[in-house]
């Protein structure tokens, strides 16, 4: 038998990324009590959810429109033309509350927590002592002494509680019964205005607003996973009131052609928004994935990972290569990639050469009329305009068994309606890795 062991050099990692090309390998997902159902789970089923993934030890809806009716492409059209509702309760909320809340948060994130005003949010990262990214949540400051970490896909609560065992900050750290939904798309502000009044149009990017929807307490942020205009609605006491919030939003959304959809990874890729577990993990440094702006030069307070991150930045400034791969954007040939990739597809420098990198997040962009992808490639191949070859599975290859051409391009791939912080900094020349 032949062994499916790709040759990409990952000697700088303790646990290499699994690059075996196994394909879809269809299996039935077992639904049991070991994995949590969110308060919105049954509501997602009522709206036609037909597949799911696991995220933060919770079942996560990942498809509503059937493949026969256009699948994710149809869901995408609703996002970019109208308005969509997403069940994202998997973004579990970890509350840090107490007299030392600001000091504690400042110790565990790389950015300066003291500069976050009350009722504002920020995209942040938390690193381990080796500089590896543990989580990249949206951080909400809901009070002077209270922060919520809206998590990406790692169980950060255990880390935060463990850190405080030795440090003894005067804070309480626990998950709270708050579950968000996202309202995303160009008509999202119109829908939100119908729900809470004209104040909806005054919520700034990464601003927070406390109010009620359907008589239930919520906090709304102008954030999202798309680059489109959009909001997240954090329902308090979600276990009790999920139906109340959901049904009010759906009813108000009818006049705006609202559709319940899964997270639009094709749009977040175009915006250059990263997905933890795909584009980065515990062994990835911020500089590797274009998050150097998250590592401030002027933050005087100590934080976890600071010494290592300062060391890596100094190495980069000296022209050294402290890591092997860099995350880049690729324009990729082949047939339209219209679904989630089951593998990290391999990249070679030559058409018939050995694999040197791998695709993390691919999809077809209707606006750009080409496949786009985020990918890890060797540093020497990361310059804009560099050409290489991607080994797509047979259904997407131009010629079965042959790789397709790919070119390194700028990220984001297209301007965002609601640009994230890196996009804003890029326009001011402040997004450099060093």
Q: For residues 85 and 250, is the Cβ–Cβ distance under 8 A?
A: yes
Token pair, residue 320, equals: 């050294």
Q: For residues 299 and 111, is the Cβ–Cβ distance under 8 A?
A: yes
Token pair, residue 330, equals: 């690729």
Q: Judge whether 243 is annotated as a binding position.
A: no
Beta bridge partners of 87: 181
- Classify strands 258-260 and 83-87 as parallel, antiparallel or unpaired: parallel
Alpha-carbon 120 to chain mean position: 19
Q: For residues 356 and 348, is the Cβ–Cβ distance under 8 A?
A: yes
C-alpha dihedral (373, 374, 379, 385), degrees to nearest 10: 40
Token pair, residue 413, equals: 């791939």
Measured between alpha carbons, how far is 103 from 363 in angstroms, rounded to an integer?
Answer: 41
- Classify strands 178-184 and 230-236 as parallel, antiparallel or unpaired: antiparallel
Q: Which H, E and C letters describe the chain, residue by residue?
A: CCCCCCCCCCCCCCCCCCCCCCCCCCCCCCCCCCCECCCCHHHHHHCCCCEEEEECCEEEEEECCCHHHCHHHHHHHHHHHCEEEEECCCCCEEEEECCCHHHHHHHHCCCCHHHCCCCEEEECCEECCCCCEEECCEEEEEECCEEEEECCCCCHHHHHHHHHHHHCCCCEEEECCEEEEEEECCCHHHHHHHHHCHHHHHCCECEEEEEEECCEEEEEEECCCCCCCEEEEEEECHHHHHHHHHHHHHHHHHHHCEEECCCCHHHHHHCCCCCECCCECCCCCHHHHCCHHHCCCCCCCCCCCHHHHHHHHHHHHCCCCCCCEEEEEEEECCCCCCCCCCCCCEEECCCCCCEEEEEEEEEEECCCCEEEEEEEEEHHHCCCCCEEEECCCCCCCCCCCCCEEEEEECCCCCCCCCCCHHHHHHHCCCCCCC
Annotated binding site: 232
Annotated binding site for substrate: 232
């Amino acid at each position: 038998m032949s062994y499916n062991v790709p040759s990409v050099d990952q000697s700088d990692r303790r646990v290499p990324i699994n690059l075996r090309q196994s394909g879809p390998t269809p299996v039935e997902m077992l639904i049991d009590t070991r994995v949590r159902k969110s308060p919105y789970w049954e509501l997602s089923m009522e709206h036609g959810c037909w597949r799911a993934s696991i995220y933060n030890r919770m079942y996560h809806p990942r498809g509503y429109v059937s493949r026969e009716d256009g699948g994710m492409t149809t869901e995408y059209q609703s996002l970019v033309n109208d308005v969509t509702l997403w069940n994202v309760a998997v973004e579990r909320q970890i509350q840090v509350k107490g007299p030392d809340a600001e000091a504690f948060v400042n110790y565990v994130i790389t950015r300066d927590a003291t500069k976050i005003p009350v009722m504002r949010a920020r995209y942040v990262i938390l690193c381990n002592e080796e500089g590896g990214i543990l989580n990249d949540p949206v951080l909400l400051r809901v009070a002077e002494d209270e922060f919520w970490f809206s998590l990406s896909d790692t169980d950060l609560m255990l880390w935060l509680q463990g850190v405080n065992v030795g440090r003894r900050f005067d804070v309480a750290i626990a998950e709270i019964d708050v579950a968000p939904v996202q309202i995303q798309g160009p008509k999202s502000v119109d829908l939100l205005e119908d729900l809470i009044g004209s104040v909806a149009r005054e919520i700034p990017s990464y601003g927070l607003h406390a109010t009620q929807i359907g008589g239930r307490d919520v906090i709304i942020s102008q954030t999202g996973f798309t680059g489109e205009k959009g909001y997240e609605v954090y329902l308090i006491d979600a276990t009790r009131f999920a139906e109340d919030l959901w049904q009010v939003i759906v009813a108000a959304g009818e006049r705006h052609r609202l559709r319940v959809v899964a997270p639009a990874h094709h749009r977040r890729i175009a915006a250059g928004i990263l997905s933890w577990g795909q584009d980065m993990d515990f062994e990835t440094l911020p500089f590797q994935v274009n998050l150097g702006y998250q590592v401030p030069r002027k933050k005087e307070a100590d934080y976890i990972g600071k010494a290592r991150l300062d060391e890596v930045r100094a190495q980069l400034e000296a022209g050294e290569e402290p890591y092997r791969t860099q995350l880049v954007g690729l324009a990729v040939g082949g047939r339209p990639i219209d679904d989630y990739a089951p593998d990290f597809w391999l990249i070679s420098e030559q058409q018939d050469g050995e694999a040197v990198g791998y695709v993390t997040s691919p999809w077809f962009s209707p606006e750009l009329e080409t496949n786009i992808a985020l990918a890890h490639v060797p540093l020497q191949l990361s310059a804009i305009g560099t050409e290489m070859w991607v080994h797509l599975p047979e259904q997407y290859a131009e010629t079965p068994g042959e790789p397709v051409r790919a070119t390194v391009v700028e990220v984001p791939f297209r301007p965002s309606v609601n640009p994230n912080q890196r996009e804003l900094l890029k326009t001011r020349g402040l997004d450099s890795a060093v």
